[in-house]
Structure 1
């Protein structure tokens, strides 16, 4: 549980900034927000990973923004020190620390820690996925989690609190959606992994560090994260013709692979044209 301990330590630094009151915000070159908490958390994570895994390169959001992009091997870490910056700034608690290990393009281990909510999720392909409360910076009561089978009465769709859920997109037509939930950061993956939602479509742009940890938790819980051709989302995407390194395509995160048939049929859809 070394990665969980690192995430919890980074989360404590984030909460220290969070507790002070109004949060000072800078704007990065891509117009996304940057706070002191992002930098403090990433510094802790990078130092701890370097000590524990000196031979494994790390792709971390703020380091990449500053031009530090190490060469990666088949194995590397992806780090988002503070996912859900808008949630952090608005102080709704729905922000996370994300750490994932990638092996041959697959997220094999992921930690998603929501320090303000005192909840942590982790998963790996061998042991499965778990959730626990965090008390006094320690994991308190781990429970194994898994995705749910499709309900006959209909689906629960989860979307971004800041970016929407894709409602109205033609690719959702034909799905029996009876409920919607909104959630910030990587918590959307965790909602599906716990069996509290069925589907999280993301038709906007994301980066690999945004998704890898939640993807690992969801896959290990029995779900899947696939592109618009119903193929598993891949990691370590460099030298892309139509986008920057480590940028994701649009994707679907799902709890039951019975949804793959629908995804295969709708493909990119009219909205992506």
Structure 2
């Protein structure tokens, strides 16, 4: 697949699929019992995670039958097999399960296309907020909200004064606290799930420092959106591109997601 291409029409299929998954999630969200269980790693999973997974996988098999799929809810794929993949789908059917359980609306459907280690296309859909972010590297990024589509471009955007930092609502690590202390004066916003990347892509925040554990499916779709909008996502402190499927573990290193203006000055 060295000449692999992904078109805007292909992206439209993924946007539609993310919205279908969102509908499946909202059917569970409306119920009193969310079907919460605890996985082996002590993280929660709900009936909505599974319903969304099933919708996405079925849709990908229909439209992109020749591309492998890795999902948080079907992650038991050996490194021996994965390391042969040049191109594959990386999905988090419900990112922000804790936010889903809290019913605060800050959860998303994440669908990313990985090609040769890079997140080249992605869709992040927040069904409660009715916001759908999408992007293809080299083509652009967009936000659809209440039926209105806006192009996202922060490639030449200046830094907010004071700078705006976005962080996790459910996971604040000591390393992030130290980073913020060293930063000095700033405004801090907290939000769940991959929406943090999207706030940077919209220009609502300058930087998202994630100095704690994440898995590759947590970040890929939103990284594609942010980088398609002119932002950057770099492993920290190495400051090298955050890549996918380059090692046996699916855990990400620490990373910084930011506007280019932020990185130029920091």
Question: What secondary structure does 1:159 align onto?
Answer: strand
Which residue of 132, 148, 154 maps to 1:141? 148
Question: What secondary structure does 1:169 align onto?
Answer: helix
**CA distance in structure 1 between the aligned counterparts of 2:125 and 2:171, rounded to whole angstroms:** 21
| Structure 2 unmatched ranges of 5 or more | 1-11
Which residue of 207, 219, 231 maps to 1:223? 231
The alignment's TM-score, normalised by the length of structure 2, stands at: 0.88
1:188-242 CA distance string (max 9 Å, x none): 0000000000010011110010000010000011111101111110111332xxx
State the 1:149 CA deviation: 2.0
Alignment check: 8 A CA contact 1:155 1:176 kept: no
Aligned residue for 1:11?
A: 22
1:155-208 CA distance string (max 9 Å, x none): 101000101276863334543442000000000000000000001001111001
Aligned pairs, how many? 249
State the 1:87 CA deviation: 0.4
Alignment RMSD: 1.8
Q: 1:254 to 1:154 in 2, by over 3 A?
A: same
**CA distance in structure 1 between the aligned counterparts of 2:172 and 2:208, rounded to whole angstroms:** 11
Q: 1:192 to 1:168 in 2, by over 3 A?
A: closer
The alignment's TM-score, normalised by the length of structure 1, stands at: 0.86
Aligned residue for 1:75?
A: 87
**CA distance in structure 2 between the aligned counterparts of 1:236 and 1:224, rounded to whole angstroms:** 19
Alignment check: 8 A CA contact 2:120 2:136 kept: yes
**CA distance in structure 2 between the aligned counterparts of 1:200 and 1:174, rounded to whole angstroms:** 15
**CA distance in structure 2 between the aligned counterparts of 1:177 and 1:165, rounded to whole angstroms:** 19
